[in-house]
Amino acid sequence: MLAPLYDAHNHLQDERLAPAREHLREQLRCENVKGMVVNGSSEEDWPSVLELARSWPEVIPSFGYHPWYVKQRSERWQQNLEHFLDQAPAAIGEIGLDRWVRDHDLAQQEEVFLAQWRLAARRNLPVSIHCLQAWGRLAELLQAEPRPRCGFVLHSFGGPKEMIPMLAKLGAYFSLPGYFAHERKARQREAFLHVPIERLLIETDAPDQPLPPERVRYPLRDADGKPVNHPANLPAVYAFASELLGIPLSELAARVESNFKRLFGVVAGA
C-alpha cells in the first residue's frame, strides 16, 4: 500500500500546468498525495488558489506576496490579503526576501514581508518563506519579530548549514525540493544532512524546480514546449530524499506526514 504523501509547496494554479489539468487530479490520487500547500504569489493569482481550495479537499491554500512581485501591489493589497485569508482556512505565502532577482528593491521587500509576517504572528498562521542571497537579513528579522506559534517553512532551503540550529529554534521547518538532486546542488544537499528529522518537509514547487530528467516520472511540457515540473512527481522527490538521508522510504513518509500535520494542521485540520 502506498504511503500518504504531502507536498509542502507548489503552485498548482500556475497556467504552465494547464496541459495537465484534465488528468492531474487523478494522477495525484494514484500517487496517494493526501495534502498539498498551494502558494499564491500576488493579488493576481489569489482567486485561482482559493478556487482550487474550494474544489480540491487535498489543497491547503496559501496567500502571499512573493518578493518578485511586490512592486506590482495595489494600494489595498493588505486588505485584499486579509479578505482572502477570511475566505478559507489558509496559510500565508509565498513571502520573503530576494537579493538575487534583477532590479530588486530590498526596502520594499522588507516592508511587504514584515506586514505579512506580523499578520501571520497575530493570527498564528503557518508561513512559507522564500529567501535568496538574504539569509543574514532574514534571520535578523525573524529574531526581532513575534513569530507564529505554529511555525514556518523555509521553502527550498538553500541557506548555510550553520544557520539550521538557530532557525529550527525559531520554529523553522526545512523543505527539500527534487531540484536539489541535480549534481550542481551539492552544497544544498549537504545542508539537508544537518536538518533535524522532525523539521523536514518535502516539496515539488511545481511547475518550477524540475527533477533531473532520469528521475522524472511524469514528463510535462508547457504550451511553449518547455519542460516543467508535474506535481505528481512528488514520489520521486521522496525517493531522492530517502536516498540522500539514508532513511527507508516508509519511515521518511511517516516522519514527513507528522511534520506536515504539525505545521499546517492549525489551518486545515491536516
Check residues 141 and 19 and name the one with the higher pLDDT.
141
Residue corresponding to grid cell 506536515: 260
Domain count, the chain: 1
- Summarize pLDDT for 121-168 with one digit per residue, the tens: 999 999 999 999 999 999 999 999 999 999 999 999 999 999 999 999
Q: How far is CA 244 from CA 7, 54, 115, 165, in A?
A: 18, 36, 37, 20
Return the H-helix or E-strand segment holding 145. none
DSSP state of 210: P
Average pLDDT over residues 210-230: 94
Query: What's the domain range around 156?
Result: 5-268
Instruction: Show the DSSP H helices in the chain as ranges.
Output: 21-30, 46-55, 77-85, 106-123, 135-144, 164-170, 186-192, 234-245, 249-268
- Separation CA 64–CA 38 (nearest Å): 11
Residues 208-220, mean pLDDT to the nearest whole number: 96
Find cell 540550529 and name the residue: 165
Quote the pLDDT of residue 169.
97
- How much is the pLDDT for 223? 84
What's residue 1's pLDDT? 60
What pLDDT does 131 receive?
Answer: 97
Question: In the sheet that 5-10 helps form, which strands lie side by side, from edge to edge?
Answer: 5-10, 33-39, 59-63, 91-98, 127-132, 152-154, 172-177, 200-203
Q: How confident is the model at residue 22 (pLDDT cuts 50, 70, 90)?
A: confident
Please state, for a pLDDT cut of 70, what percent of the chain lies above it.
99
Q: CATH number for the domain including 250?
A: 3.20.20.140
Question: Rounded to an integer, what distance in angstroms lies between the CA atom of residue 151 and that of residue 6?
Answer: 17
Give the pLDDT score at 132: 96
- Average per-residue pLDDT in the chain? 96
Q: How confident is the model at residue 88 (pLDDT cuts 50, 70, 90)?
A: very high
Q: Using the 8-state DSSP alphabet, how is residue 197 labeled?
A: G
Confidence band (pLDDT; 50, 70, 90) for 213?
very high
pLDDT score, position 267: 87
| Rg, Å, the chain Cα set | 17
Single pTM value for the model: 0.96
Least confident segment among 43-57, 73-87, 96-110? 96-110
Q: From start to end of the chain, where are the E strands?
A: 5-10, 33-39, 59-63, 91-98, 127-132, 152-154, 172-177, 200-203
3-state DSSP assignment of residue 142: helix
Alpha-carbon gap, residue 8 to 94, rounded angstroms? 11
pLDDT level of residue 269 (50, 70, 90 thresholds) = low
Q: What gap in Å lies between CA 37 and CA 93, rounded to an integer?
A: 9
Amino acid (1-letter code) at residue 234: L
Assign 47 a pLDDT band (cuts: 50, 70, 90).
very high
